Structure 1
Amino acid sequence: MTDTSMDMTSETGEAGFRDFVALLKPRVMSLVVFTAFVGLMVAPVPVHPMVVFTSVLFIAIGGGASGALNMWWDADIDAVMKRTQSRPIPSGKVTTGEAYAIGMTLSAISVIMLGLAANWVAAGLLAFTIFFYVVIYTMWLKRWTPQNIVIGGAAGAFPPMIGWAAATGSISVESVLMFMITFMWTPPHFWALALFVKSDYDKAKVPMLTVTHGRKATRTHILIYTLLLAPVAIGAGFTSIGGPLYLVLALGMNLWFVKGAVDIWRRDDAQSDADSHKVERKFFKLSLIYLFLHFGALLLEATLRPFGLGGW
C-alpha cells in the first residue's frame, strides 16, 4: 500500500453498523455460509444442530475477517476502481487501522472458536484459508500475476471442505471434489466479470488477464476452464454425496454453462462493448446460479437420503 492511500483513508466519518457489515463483504460471506453448510450436511456422520450452527457461524466470521483484511490492504486500488469506490475505506467511513483491527480480531476469534466448537482440523483449515486469501492472494498474487484469480480462487473453494472437516474431523475425496467444483468455477466466473469491468482493472493497474492478455485470450481461457469444470462437477454425482437428482441437474447445468462459454468465445472484439457485455453479464449471472444449484442439489440428495430417496 502506498503512503498516499494511507493518508487518503486516515480520516474517517461516522461509521454506522452497515459500514462495518460491508467491511466483511456480506455477499461473499453468503457464498461461504452456504457452501460450508452444504459441506457439513452432506458429511456421512450425524452432527448436532448446535455444532452445525456454531461451525457455520465461525466459518462465516472467518470469511468476513478475510474480507476486512482484503479491504485494508487493497484500500489504494479500491479508491481507483469505480465498482469499489463506495466501499467503507475509500468512502472515508472506516479507517485502514479499524479494518485491520477488526480483521485480525475476527480471524483469531473464528479459528479458536471453531476449534472449540467442532475440531482443530476444521480450525486449521479455516486458519489456512484466511492466510491464503489475505497473504497469498491479496498481498502477492493479485498484483503480480494474471493467474491471480486461478490460484487465489482456492481461498473461496475451502469452505465446503472446512464444513466437511467440522463434521468428520477429516478430509476425503468427497470434500476435495466440492473444493474442486468451486475452484474450477472461480476463473470463468471472475473473468466474465473482468471482461465488462476491464477499464477498472486498467486504472488500478491490477494484472487481470483482460489487462495483460486482452479480451480474446480471456474468452479462450473462460472456455477452457468451463470445459475442465464440467467433468469435475458431473463426476461428483457418482460419489457418495451425489445421486440421480444431482447428476441430472449437473448434466443440464454444465451443458448450459458450456454453451454460455462458447457464446463468449465466439464474440469478436470488433463488436460494440454493449453487445459484448450483454453476453458476458448473462454468463456472469448464470455462473452464480450454476454454483448455487450444484450445491443445492448436493444438499437435497443429503436431505432425501434418510428416506431412501436420495443418493445411490
Structure 2
Amino acid sequence: MTDISADRPYEAQFGDYFALLKPRVMSLVVFTALVGLLVAPVDLHPFVGFCAILFIAVGGGASGALNMWWDADIDAVMRRTRRRPVPSGRVAGDEALAIGIALSGFAVVMLGLATNWLAAGLLAFTIFFYAVVYSMWLKRSTPQNIVIGGAAGAFPPMIGWAAATGSIGIESVLMFALIFLWTPPHFWALALFMRSDYDDAGVPMLTVTHGRRTTRRHILAYTAVLAVFALGLATTSVAGPVYLAVAVAMNLWFLKGAWTIFRRDEDMAEADNFAVERAFFRFSLLYLFLHFGALLGDAALRAAGIV
C-alpha cells in the first residue's frame, strides 16, 4: 500500500480555528468583563449577563483572529508565535480575516441588541483599536506600542460595566486604568528575556530600541504609578476589605519585584537566565487575577450583607 497522506492538503480542525481566537487572551477578557458586569450596582437578569459576556468573548476572539491575520509575517519569525494557526499554515490568512470580520460584526450587533449600544460601541472601538491602531500601526512603528496599545486589553471591564448600567462610572475607569498600567511592566518583563524574538521580527519593543537598562527603569516607574491607581480603586464603592488587603499585599510585592529588576545588570540576568524577570512576568498574571478576584469577593460579601 502507498502512503498518500503527505499528498493531501491539510484541513484545518476545530482546534485550529479556536486557537485563532487566542483563547488565553480571551479568558482574561472574559474574566475582567465579568467582574465589571457583576460589581456594577444594578440587578441584571442572569440570561442578559450571560449573553453580554458571550458576545464580549466573541468580540475578543475576533480581535485575536484579525491580529493573527495581520501579524502572520512576524509571527512566523518569533519562536513564541511561530506555531500559531496562520504562520504554521494550518489556517489560511484570508480565512482568518473573514472569520475576524464576521465575528466582529456579529459580536457588536448582538451585544447592542442584548444590552445597550454604549456597550456595543465600546466593544466595536476595542476591536478597531486592537486590530488597526495597535496591530497595524503602533506595534511596528513605536517603542510605545505596548503602552498605548494596552488600552485594547483594558476596555473589557468597562464594557461589562456599561452592559450592566448603560453608563461609564469612575469605578469602571479605574478598572480600565488598572489593566492599562499593568500591561507595560507585564510585557516589558517578557521582552527582557525574549528580546531576540523582537529583534528577529523587527518589532520596535523598548528593549530593542532603547536597551534593557532603560526598560528596567520603565518597569519600575510604571509599577509605581500602577500601585497608586490600584490603591485608588480601593476607595470606590466596588471595593471593600478583601480588595484593600489584596491590593496592599500585591502592590508591595510587585514593587519589590520591579525594584529588584531595576537593580540587576545584564551579567546578573544572563547568569541565571533571567530567572527574576521570568518570575516577575509569571507573578504579573497572578497580580491581575487576584485584584479582579478580590473585587468579586467584596461583591459577594455585599450581596450576603456582611459588609
The residue number in structure 1 matching 2:130 is: 133
2:71 is the alignment partner of 1:74:
yes
Residues 98-142 of structure 1: CA deviation (Å, up to 9, x unaligned): 000000000000000000011100000000000000110000000
The residue number in structure 1 matching 2:46 is: 49
Q: What SS is found at the alignment partner of 2:88? A: coil
Decide which of 286, 289, 301 is 1:304's aligned counterpart.
Answer: 301
Runs of 5+ consecutive residues of structure 1 not aligned to the other structure = 1-11
**Runs of 4+ with >6 A deviation:** none
Give the counterpart letter for 1:184 in structure 2: L
* Cα root mean square deviation, aligned: 1.1
Deviation at 1:274, TM superposition (A): 4.8
Task: Check the 8 A contact 2:269/2:275 in 1, yes or no.
Answer: no
The residue number in structure 1 matching 2:169 is: 172
Deviation at 1:276, TM superposition (A): 5.1
Decide which of 21, 36, 41 is 1:39's aligned counterpart.
Answer: 36
Alpha-carbon distance in 2 for matches of 1:153, 1:63: 14
Structure 1 segment 270-289 matched on structure 2, within 5 A? 270-275=267-272, 277-289=274-286
Structure 1 segment 161-200 matched on structure 2, within 5 A? 161-200=158-197
Task: Check the 8 A contact 1:13/1:94 in 2, yes or no.
Answer: no
Decide which of 230, 241, 244 is 2:238's aligned counterpart.
Answer: 241
Tell me whether 243-252 or 177-186 shows the greater mean CA deviation: 243-252
Q: Percent identity?
A: 70
Residues 189-234 of structure 1: CA deviation (Å, up to 9, x unaligned): 0000111110000000000000000001001100000000001001
Count of aligned pairs: 300
Task: Check the 8 A contact 1:111/1:123 in 2, yes or no.
Answer: yes
Structure 1 segment 1-312 matched on structure 2, within 5 A? 13-275=10-272, 277-310=274-307
Alpha-carbon distance in 2 for matches of 1:38, 1:274: 41
Task: Check the 8 A contact 1:32/1:63 in 2, yes or no.
Answer: yes
Alpha-carbon distance in 1 for matches of 2:54, 2:304: 28
Q: TM-score, normalised by structure 1?
A: 0.95
The residue number in structure 2 matching 1:6 is: none
Q: Is the alpha carbon distance of 1:152 and 1:264 closer, same or farther for their aligned partners in structure 2, counting shifts above 3 Å?
A: same
Alpha-carbon distance in 1 for matches of 2:41, 2:271: 48
Alpha-carbon distance in 1 for matches of 2:171, 2:179: 13
Give the counterpart letter for 1:51 in structure 2: V
Q: What SS is found at the alignment partner of 1:279? A: helix
Task: Check the 8 A contact 1:267/1:276 in 2, yes or no.
Answer: no
Alpha-carbon distance in 1 for matches of 2:74, 2:156: 27
Alpha-carbon distance in 1 for matches of 2:269, 2:223: 25
Q: Is the alpha carbon distance of 1:182 and 1:272 closer, same or farther for their aligned partners in structure 2, counting shifts above 3 Å?
A: closer
Deviation at 1:309, TM superposition (A): 2.0
Q: TM-score, normalised by structure 2?
A: 0.96
Residues 34-92 of structure 1: CA deviation (Å, up to 9, x unaligned): 00000000000001100111000000000000000000000000000011110001111
Runs of 5+ consecutive residues of structure 2 not aligned to the other structure = 1-8
Task: Check the 8 A contact 2:67/2:135 in 1, yes or no.
Answer: yes
Task: Check the 8 A contact 1:65/1:106 in 2, yes or no.
Answer: yes
Residues 2-30 of structure 1: CA deviation (Å, up to 9, x unaligned): xxxxxxxxxx7211111000000000000
Q: What SS is found at the alignment partner of 2:133? A: helix
